[in-house]
Structure 1
Amino acid sequence: MAEQIIVSGWMDYDPADRDTMLGHLVALGRRSREEEPGCLDYAMTADPTDGRRIRVYERWASQEALDGHFATAHIKEFRAASAGLARVGVSLQAHTVAATRDLR
């Protein structure tokens, strides 16, 4: 079984652009989850304490699934739609998952 990949972190946008970007990311996440079997989770949320920040959480079945994500038509459409929005900061990391267990 391939090792899962988690992408996490944040992106900051000009406050005037954050909600527009968030809307694009929500649509992108919906398509990624529906159309890409390797997309296990895709959540972008507005940080309630920072008017610029979008929190990022993605979980992929493998590195290959994540790589394939960047070649999809919906990523190309997303990039075109969001090209004019002002990102002012970013901190994103990809984590390779060694093991997973349920917490109860």
Structure 2
Amino acid sequence: MAEEIIVAGWMDYEAGDRGTMLAALVELGRRTREEEPGCLDYAMTADPTDERRIRVYEHWTSRQALDEHFTTEHIKDFRTAVAGLTRVGVRLTAHTIAESRPMR
């Protein structure tokens, strides 16, 4: 059984670019969730306390599913759509899940 992967962190963009990036991420997230069976969750959200920051959360069935994500047509479309935007910082980390349990 493959180990699940969680990608979490943040990306900072010039304040004027964040809205455009978020709009592109909404479409990317929709297509990723619909077209990639290895994607369990994919959410990019605006940080309410920092006008530049986008919070990142992705949940994948395996490392292979995550690697394949970067080869899809919708990733290529996304990269074209955001080519002129300025990212000023990033911290993303991929975590291999050792154990999961429901929280109450």
Could you tell me the TM-score, scaled by structure 1's length? 0.99
1:50 matched residue in structure 2? 50
Q: Distance in 2 between matches of 1:70 and 1:46?
A: 22
User: What is the deviation of 1:47?
Assistant: 0.2
Mapped pair 1:78 → 2:72? no
Letter matched to residue 38 of structure 1: G
Consecutive unaligned residues of structure 1, counting only runs of 5 or more, are none
Following TM superposition, by how much is the alpha carbon of 1:26 offset from its aligned partner in structure 2, in angstroms?
1.0
Q: Quick one: distance in 2 between partners of 1:100 and 1:26?
A: 27
| 1:35 aligned residue | 35
CA drift of 1:24 comes to: 0.5
In structure 2, the residue matched to 1:66 is 66
- RMSD over aligned CA atoms reads 0.4
Poorly superposed stretches of 4+, deviation over 4 Å:
none
Deviation at 1:97, TM superposition (A): 0.3
Query: Is residue 2:15 matched to residue 1:15?
Result: yes
Q: Any stretches of 5+ residues in structure 2 without a counterpart? A: none
Residues 44-91 of structure 1 show CA distances to partners (whole Å, capped at 9, x for unaligned) of 000000000000000000000000000000000000110100100000
> TM-score of the superposition, structure 2-length normalised?
0.99
Distance 2:103 2:59 in 1: 17
CA distance, structure 2, for counterparts of residue 102 and residue 2 of structure 1: 20
In the alignment, the residues of structure 1 paired with residue 50 and residue 6 of structure 2 have an alpha-carbon distance, to the nearest angstrom, of 23
* AA matched with 2:54: I
Match of 1:2 in 2: 2
- Paired residues in the alignment total 104
